[in-house]
Amino acid sequence: MTARQRVVIIGGGFAGLRAARGLRRAPADVVLVDRANHHLFRPLLYQVATGLLPAGDIAPPLRRILAEQRNTRVLLGEATAVNPHAQTVTVTAADGTAQRLGYDHLVLAAGATDNYFGHDQWAAVAAGMKTLRQAVELRDRLLHAFETAAASRDEQARRRWLTFAIVGGGPTGVELAGQLAALARRTLRGQFHDLDPAHLRIVLTEHGDAVLAPFPDPLRRHAHRRLRDLGVDVRLGYSAADIDEHGITLQSAHGGDPQRLATPTVIWAAGVTPVPLTAQLAEDAGASRDHKGRIKVRPDCTVPGHPEIFAIGDLANVHDLPGIAEPALQQGRYVAKVISHRLGRGPHPGLFRYLDLGTMATISPFDAVADVRGLHLHGPLGKAAWAGVHLAFLTGWPNRLGVLANWAWTLGSGRRQQQLILDTRTVRPAAARPA
């Protein structure tokens, strides 16, 4: 009797979780490795960071999702190395113990992390928003900035604490800017009577010449106008030249003197790069990477020369698709079909083909832009489409209902439930000093 095949999946995000679920009936032993114990719905992270949603609403535990799947084991730990020749993955647990897992099929779906474009030191002062912890820390920092401004008797200091700089005008930066404006103007105005709303300043910088670059021009212009209406200061053609705990220096693409913005709160939403494991695997497997650091895979999502290794989602380049959720989901589903076919279950799905279902970004509580296969929506209609799609893609009914209830409450009452500062250590006292 031949032994059951072993499938190891690294990463329980959009791509990896979808692959694992697609293998639920496969005659194989599946191990899903993730360094977090939850599946994170990243598109709603900014709503956690701005106090609209509790963390648990967008992060169901992987074990709960896969509890009924008898052929699948969830392993909490960091995949620290892949040996493509010995066909093993080294997984290191939080207590430092390491174990080696052998595989017959490997799915690398570990996603991406922040890209500071050679300025990694900025990570300490301009945190990104990729993980649940980062989102909760950002919430602490935002709420703490309001508290510190309210407590201060020095008008210059107040102005600095009420200045927020967001670097990157893609969907993450736009959504965060819009939501922060709503948090500040709608929710906090009624609670911080000694703060002057005129002192609030949200600056969104984008090095390109438009926000929401991947969207069609009319939707980009709509988003820009709406952000301006919300009071967001949108600076196009500006890049970060320097960031420290006192503020950010901006350089215009059109030349001129650098501009300094004094603020303790700089948020990085400017780009992503594949997790480090990607480079290690590519090098050891003899695969090449594109200019974004993604592994160039074959049209069936396998690493060239290694039909047993699949790379999918944000860390892989197949047809140069954008790093968004839908390609990751479709690749996960596809890879599960290929592996199932190899195990004697189901037909071969052919080469991977992407079905573009559209892109969306929200701007304010009643406005979002959506490009659905050439149909351009914005305003409340765009928002309804955005809300429907996000609810549909959330994992599990408890999370869908939780998110829906929180949205309804916030829209109806204008209040946010998650106005807690959990840890004041994340706010650097030195940032309160004059710039």
Ligand X SMILES: Cc1cc2nc3c(=O)[nH]c(=O)nc-3n(C[C@H](O)[C@H](O)[C@H](O)COP(=O)(O)OP(=O)(O)OC[C@H]3O[C@@H](n4cnc5c(N)ncnc54)[C@H](O)[C@@H]3O)c2cc1C
Q: How far is the CB of 386 from ligand X (least distance, A)?
A: 9
**How far apart (Å, rounded) are the C-alpha atoms in residues 345 and 71?**
15
Please report, as a single letter, which amino acid is at residue 415.
R
Cβ neighbours of 22 (radius 10 Å): 18
Q: How far is the CB of 211 from ligand X (least distance, A)?
A: 14
Q: Tokens in use for 241?
A: 């030249």
DSSP 55: G
The residue written with tokens 């639920």 in the block is: 24
Nearer to ligand X, 157 or 232 (CB): 232
Active site residue 147: no
Q: How far is the CB of 159 from ligand X (least distance, A)?
A: 28
Nearer to ligand X, 149 or 328 (CB): 328
Rounded alpha-carbon distances, angstroms, from residue 121 to 116, 118, 126, 226: 8, 9, 9, 33
DSSP 245: T
Q: How far is the CB of 214 from ligand X (least distance, A)?
A: 10
Contact 158, 386 (CB under 8 A): no
Of 78, 175, 206, 326, catalytic: 175
Nearer to ligand X, 37 or 156 (CB): 37
Nearer to ligand X, 10 or 270 (CB): 10
Nearer to ligand X, 50 or 251 (CB): 50
Rounded alpha-carbon distances, angstroms, from residue 391 to 38, 397, 407: 18, 9, 11
Q: How far is the CB of 137 from ligand X (least distance, A)?
A: 14
**How far apart (Å, rounded) are the C-alpha atoms in residues 388 and 370?**
12
Chain residue whose CB lies nearest ligand X:
13
Q: Tokens in use for 119?
A: 């300025």
**How far apart (Å, rounded) are the C-alpha atoms in residues 4 and 21?**
18
Binding region for ligand X (CB under 6 A): 10-16, 33-36, 40, 42-43, 45, 78-79, 109-111, 129-130, 171-172, 275, 277, 313-314, 323-326, 328
Report, as residue numbers or ranges, the catalytic residues.
Answer: 175
